[in-house]
A and B are shown apart, each in its own frame.
Chain A
Amino acid sequence: MHVALLRLALGLYSVGFAHSVLTALQKKQTLFRPALISVSVGFVLHVIAIISRAMEVRYLPLTQQYEAFSFFGALATLGFLIAYAKYRIESLSIFAFPLIFVMTFVANLFYDPSASIPPVLRSNWIYIHTPLVILGYAALFFAFAAAIMYLIQEHALKSKHPVRFYNWLPSLEICDDLAYRSLAIGFPLITLGIITGALWAQAVWGVWARDAKVLFSFLTWLVYLLLIFYRLIAGWRGRKAAYLSIVGFIGVLVTFLGANIFGGLHTFQ
């Protein structure tokens, strides 16, 4: 049943995706309301899908690639709904809806009913390490989206060629606030994620630094550490913080998606 539900959720998310594409093409938001409703309903189905999968397999469904992507998609939706409830910024949807759609789509693509947990991953660590990392990445995605919106809005203001298309963008202060809060949530999560990963690796192999994914995640973590440092100590905000946040998220993407490209322990096959 969870597969059907997930597909249904994907169908509903596609309305959100269409909204983003149309907004980018027409430079005007016309579909936001229906898209918001579809995505919200999709989210409910998605959560039910994850729960029913968990009940079926009797473990937290995070061990297979498809489960991880599905979990990421659901978290991104949750994050968007929370941010929307707080700031009422419709424009965030233009970044969030495609991510939600793509993550859920990839989850559907990778679904493999015959797959079982690889023996190497049969450990309780997986239920701590994976959710922490995915939660962290989802939060950092919103920091990234806020940074992009900040830069577009800032450029429009500085260049003094105000384009009406940008009127749907939130104010600089809200973008910066959203970026900072997302970072404040995401950074501790990925920090814990890395620590638990290290402990787990230690427990299984005794060493842990020979994996591309581990290396990239550590580099990414350093970028975010730098960002936190500059924000707190040097009072960085706005443009410089936004640039660093974007660099950091590129690191996240390489880390999250790159495992299969570079190979290594996280390939799990």
Chain B
Amino acid sequence: MQLALVGLSHKTAPVELRERLAFNDDALRLALKSLVGRNDVSEVMILSTCNRVEVVAESADDHLIREFLCEFHQISPDAVSNHLYSLRNADAIRHIFRVAASLDSMMVGEPQILGQVKEAFRIAADAGTVGMHLSALMNRAFAVAKKVRSETGISQAAVSVSYAAVELARKIFGDLGGKTVMIIGASKMGELAAKHLKRNGVSSVLVTNRTFERAVELAQVFEGAAVPFEHFTDHMDRADIVISSTGAPHFIINKTLAEQIIHRRKNKPIFFIDIAVPRDIDPTVNEIDNAFLYDIDDLQQVIDANLKERIMEAARAEKIIDSEVEAFCLKMQSREVVPTIVQLRDSLEKMRREEIERNRRYLKDLSPEQQSAVDHITKSMVNKILHIPIEQLKQMVHDPAGPDFIDTIRRIFNVKPPQ
């Protein structure tokens, strides 16, 4: 197997270039079909997301793929050559494993990429452009991604404000089922946080806003209830989580009010999330028993700590990837070496027989002993010739240059790779 990967990503190219090289679904099918069969390209798949475009092919020729990309998107090679990367064999395998495991993502550990890789593989499989080699590779990549996810914490910690809010709410309440969230003010970020909480089990939503119509509108989105801004404190004791994001220039929830609410809630805990700037909730509210207040900076601090943790977990993930790449290369190469040896033997044996057959009339006067001596001599010559290449092939199983070496041996002896 010879693997070539050509692509560009958020790490090497600006978005202007990425969008020019991106494939939509129709273009993807067209490109797959027109690439497969060119020169030695026997299998191909293309991953095209907003952060990366990558062509993976069973081919020894990455230049061909570069040319194809430029040609297909009608871009001059000079415009992209500095942004494209070409990887081969073990390097390409490592890259694919890292991409699938979300180690190469803009937000390391984000979960969407694995689905995108699976989808790219499915499209190529439907188009009939993947065979044995890419299937084996991609299935391994999916398994490695799963392993990385389950054995490291890279995708566990929350790294956005809304996720951090959910994570903290879980630390207080455990299961969010049956809990109520109150949204004060109608900001985008507040809405997003509420949406995440709802998706994670929060069952009812109360919305209040200075403009009541806006509150009603938002309440409809969440299938919740709107509360007039003048009376929102009367309803606050029903809320387990309060998200505040008004444009008010002063605190709208002070310590006394929070104490009253806690008292009315019979000390059941309440989680205040203040994402307004300037802040809506007096920071001293956090001093009250059973009240937990996080402002935007506190949430950011949680996120930063989680990001740091992710970097450490990513290092563990890289170790898993390293050993997986090695294991996969070994498996693939040993899978190629044995048939190659058999093919070499068969091919030379065939040559030997043909030569003896061709010279049969000169040999027919020889005695049976002499004839068998000729047979023996030619056989041992074939063995001697093959001895070193076969020994080398066996050793090459562990060598990163293995695929190239196997390819060279095949060319020298003119044997085709097994299909």
Give me the interface of A with B, judged by CB distance under 8 Å. 153, 156-158, 160-164, 167, 169-174, 235-240
Contact = CB atoms under 8 A, between A and B. Distances in A.
Contact of A157 (B156, B172, B267, B289): B172
B21 interface: no
A161 B266 CA distance: 27
Contacts of B137: none
A172 B172 contact: yes
24 contacts: A157-B171, A157-B172, A158-B286, A160-B301, A161-B305, A164-B153, A164-B306, A164-B309, A169-B171, A171-B172, A171-B173, A171-B174, A172-B171, A172-B172, A173-B269, A235-B266, A235-B267, A237-B267, A237-B268, A237-B290, A238-B267, A238-B269, A238-B289, A238-B290
B302 interface: yes
Given A157-B292, A238-B269, A164 B174 contact: no
A173 B172 contact: yes
Contact of A172 (B156, B269, B301): B269
A164 B157 contact: yes
B171 A171 contact: yes
Contacts of B170: 171
Contacts of A236: 267
Contacts of A171: 170-174
B168 interface: yes
Contacts of B306: 164
Interface in B261-278: 266-269
Interface string B286-307: 1001101010001001100110
A239 B267 CA distance: 11
A174 B156 CA distance: 21
Given A237-B290, A238-B289, A157 B168 contact: yes
B172 A162 contact: no
B200 to A, nearest CB: 13
A158 B294 CA distance: 9
A153 B301 CA distance: 17
B173 to A, nearest CB: 5
Nearest to A234: B267
Contacts of B157: 164
Given A158-B292, A162-B168, A172-B269, 14 more contacts: A153-B171, A157-B292, A158-B286, A160-B298, A160-B301, A164-B305, A171-B170, A171-B172, A171-B173, A172-B171, A174-B174, A237-B268, A238-B289, A240-B289
Nearest to A157: B292
Nearest to B172: A172
A164 to B, nearest CB: 5
A239 B289 contact: yes
A160 B292 CA distance: 10
Contacts of A170: 174
A129 to B, nearest CB: 36
B140 to A, nearest CB: 26
Nearest to B301: A160
Interface string B168-194: 101111100000000000000000000
Nearest to B179: A173
B294 to A, nearest CB: 7
Contacts of A240: 289
Contacts of B290: 237-239
Nearest to A160: B298
A160 B306 CA distance: 13
A160 B294 contact: yes
A173 B301 CA distance: 24
A166 to B, nearest CB: 8
